[in-house]
Amino acid sequence: MLDIQILRNDLAATAARLATRSYTLDVAKFEQLEANRKTIQTRTQELQATGNRINKMVGQLRGAGHGMDDGEIVDLMRESASAAQERKEKELRLDELQNELKKFLEVIPNIPHSTAPVGKSEADNVEIRKVGEPSKFNFEVKDHVSIGEGLGGLDFETATKITGSRFSLLKGPLARLHRALAQFMLDTHTDQHGYTETYVPYLVNKNSMYGTGQLPKFEKDLFSVKNEGQEPAEKLTEIFNNSQLYLIPTAEVPLTNMVRDEIVPLDKLPMKFVAHTPCFRSEAGSYGRDTRGMIRQHQFDKVELVQMVLPEKSYEALGELLGHAEIILQKLELPYRVVKLCTGDMGFSAATTFDIEVWLPAQNTYREISSCSNFEAFQARRMQARFRNAQGKPELLHTVNGSGLAVGRTLVAVLENNQQADGSVNIPEVLRPYMGGMESIQLA
């Protein structure tokens, strides 16, 4: 959430910067809400002063020997009661206005950092670097679906029967390769990069979704679970407590919310966490996109990296985290590129984002495999996640996160980039210890 003082101090410049994200700030509405707030707040303060003045006058009269039935005191008390009643009404209206301002703020995206390229879509993103050369094949390249089905380990038909479209079922060596990738990522990030491995809930409450920016704006993109009160088991009632819970779209949500409503000791920063979880997304608005294969699924796995850091360290942390994600692809010897997202392509909460895109031979293009962002204080303000600075004053944290990596898309890249003419797939050397020494996956 934006600091409301930014709007109060420089509304026109803020609106112009948000316009680069294709977001139209309702300036007139904000000005009207602010004008009403100021008027009522001023009147509330006047009424408070009136009450204080009357109390002082009554005290002076009582001190001079006047009784409570004295005409002057009676008039003053009548005036005091009237002021108190009006003040109560004004305070209720002020609370309503503050709530309206909060609702106004909570759907406004973060302000792009000054270094973010201005643009409208992914076509305006800026390539930063390419690493590795795409492999050249002397045979007809297959996509991961054909490869996986040929190996007997990728089954969409059964997954559709079990659940529905946009789900997949892995078995045999491919299921093991998927697990190996996740374990390899976790080991790298914990042993070499200093993250604390964390096991988190896959269901979170509304406050958690609100804290990282998924609610209220993106509720249609989420899967929710609700206890409908149909004579549930006693334990289920205890867990759900008649409230709505959401399946996590990314481990960013539970990991970041670990510091919600907390004041983190200065000596505990930076905090660095990694978690491997399934992720659940409705993919609202993506009808017809990537319907073949594992690129865009309702359920997929990710290894997520999250850092909570000092404000002055957050862009250094973003560069570090980006490098940690890149190292996974380097170790897997997969070609990739890094792009800086333009203002029109960034996520709601991000101030700056770098995407890592891996090369997919069958598509003859690079596809996103990680998105690494600095949210500055945007999420921390929603969560009231703070630290106590050197002067002992609470201050908002900065949050940084990114995928390290999306496991399913990494599996896709491994299959396509390591395919052989006979339909087999070579296993990257760093994964072989996780595969029991297996060097390749052969046709079933």
Determine the number of helices (DSSP H) and then strands (DSSP E) in the chain: 13, 18
Alpha carbon of residue 298 to chain centroid = 17
What separation in angstroms does the CA of 113 have from each of 217, 340, 350? Answer: 21, 12, 9
Catalytic residue list contains 409: yes
Q: Looking at residue 439, what DSSP letter applies?
A: -
Choosing from 349, 370, 371, 373, which is the catalytic residue?
371
Q: What residues contact 366, with CB distance under 8 A and at least 6 apart?
A: 336, 337, 357, 358, 359, 360
Choosing from 166, 176, 281, 381, which is the catalytic residue?
281
DSSP states of 340-396: EPPTTTS-TT-SEEEEEEEEETTTTEEEEEEEEEEEETHHHHHHT-EEE-TTS-EEE
- What SS3 state is found at 54? helix
DSSP states of 97-118: HHHHHHHHHTTSPPPPPTTSPP
Catalytic residue list contains 381: no
Choosing from 314, 373, 409, 416, which is the catalytic residue?
409
- Backbone angles phi and psi of 424, in degrees to 5: -80, 170
| Burial (CB count within 10 angstroms: exposed 0-12, middle 13-18, buried 19+), residue 93 | middle
Choosing from 53, 296, 337, 432, which is the catalytic residue?
296
Catalytic residue list contains 368: yes
Choosing from 79, 219, 368, 395, which is the catalytic residue?
368
DSSP states of 222-282: S-EEE---SS--HHHHHHHTT-EEEE-SSTHHHHHGGGTT-EE-GGGPSEEEEEEEEEE--
Catalytic residue list contains 129: no
Alpha carbon of residue 207 to chain centroid = 13
Catalytic residue list contains 296: yes
Pick from 343, 416, 347: nearest CA to 22: 343
- Which residues are part of the catalytic machinery? 281, 296, 368, 371, 409
